[in-house]
């Protein structure tokens, strides 16, 4: 075996973090089986490098993060009195900047992080910036972020889906399917990429306590049937944004260069 081939095997082993076996590998490199192993390692290493190469451009380094954060915050806080700007709490800024490394290509999520950071630095609303919001953003998909940007524009916000159910209707799953159908339509209006996952997105947003499903009885109605007055009760099936979710949206979605939309 040539010195060149030997060196390729050794370097491949090192690249795969199995440097501890390099001496033995080198010793056995003259054996046919070892030659085949060496070829296999080289192919695997090359394949892994090709598979991982796109990710390298998606992970930001400190310099990229620093520039993006400074430039964006200048725009978001440009109309604030300097005396109203304070240092962000470390338990928000630390995890936030770490998470920002991995959202270089996800505009909606990236902007959520910066809105949260701006909220935490704005003395007028800093108390709205809850530390758990960083982890919530981390658990959102780009599609779910689009949904949360769209929801505040709906006419009934914070109620986003509402179905009136007559007392004669069947209950349970049938009713739930009616109101979730409205949610699917909202997702389409939000122009999400994977519309087939709309119900999964609803489940995740409920899990994160941003959205909730509830029933309300708004009142009773009187009707005359066959000479008798009957009282019927309608029920509203509702998907709405929780109080916690409204705080999240106010801090991470609605903060812009001019103001925070106050609840």
User: DSSP labels for 44-83?
Assistant: HHHHHHHHHHHHHTTS--HHHHHHHHHHHHHHHTTTS-GG
Q: Which residues contact 49 (CB under 8 A, 6 or more apart)?
A: none
Beta-bridge partners for 213: 239
What is the per-residue pLDDT for 18?
46
pTM of the model: 0.71
3-state secondary structure of 260: coil
What does the pLDDT read at residue 146?
96
- 164 by DSSP, 3-state: which? strand
List own/partner pairs for 203-209 with CB under 8 A and 24 or more apart.
204/139, 204/140, 204/141, 204/144, 205/144, 205/147, 205/148, 205/245, 208/136, 208/139, 208/140, 209/242, 209/244, 209/245
Residue 236: strand pairing partners: 164, 216
Q: What is the pLDDT of residue 214?
A: 87
What is the rounded CA–CA span in Å between residue 98 and residue 173? 41
Which phi and psi (to 5°) does residue 153 adopt? Answer: -85, -5
Which candidate, 53, 10, 58, places its Cα nearest to that of 34? 10
60-106 pLDDT per residue, tens: 677 788 888 889 998 898 888 888 898 999 999 999 999 988 887 78
Residues contacting 125, CB < 8 A, separation 6+ = 119, 250, 251, 255, 260, 262
Q: At what angle do helices 90-100 and 107-121 cross, to 10 degrees?
A: 160
The residue ranges of the chain whose pLDDT is under 50 are 13, 18-19, 21-22, 25, 30, 55, 170, 172-173, 222, 224-225, 229, 231, 257-263
For residue 216, give the H/E element and its range. Answer: strand 211-216
Question: How would you list the strands of the sheet with 211-216, edge to edge?
Answer: 159-165, 235-241, 211-216
């Amino acid at each position: 075996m040539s010195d060149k081939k030997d060196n390729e095997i050794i370097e491949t082993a090192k690249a795969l973090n199995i440097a501890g076996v390099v001496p033995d590998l080198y010793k056995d490199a003259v054996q046919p089986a070892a030659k085949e192993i060496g070829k296999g390692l080289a192919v695997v290493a090359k394949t892994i490098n090709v598979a991982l190469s796109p990710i390298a451009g998606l992970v930001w380094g400190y310099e990229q993060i620093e520039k993006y954060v400074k430039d964006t915050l200048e725009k978001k806080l440009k109309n604030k009195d300097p005396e109203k700007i304070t240092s962000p709490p470390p338990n928000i800024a630390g995890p936030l900047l770490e998470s920002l490394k991995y959202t270089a290509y996800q505009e909606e999520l990236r902007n959520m992080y910066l809105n949260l950071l701006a909220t935490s630095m704005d003395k007028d609303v800093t108390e709205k910036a809850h530390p758990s919001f960083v982890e919530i953003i981390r658990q959102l998909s780009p599609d779910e972020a689009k949904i949360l940007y769209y929801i505040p524009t709906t006419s009934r916000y914070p109620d986003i889906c509402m179905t009136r159910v007559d007392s004669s209707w069947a209950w349970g799953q049938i009713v739930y399917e009616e109101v979730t159908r409205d949610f699917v339509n909202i997702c389409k209006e939000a122009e999400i990429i994977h519309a087939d996952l709309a119900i999964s997105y609803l489940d995740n947003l409920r899990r994160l306590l941003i959205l909730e499903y509830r029933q309300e009885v708004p009142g009773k109605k009187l009707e005359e049937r066959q000479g008798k007055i009957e009282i019927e009760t309608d029920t509203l099936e509702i998907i709405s944004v929780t109080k916690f979710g409204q705080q999240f949206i106010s801090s991470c979605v609605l903060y812009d260069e001019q103001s925070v939309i106050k609840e």
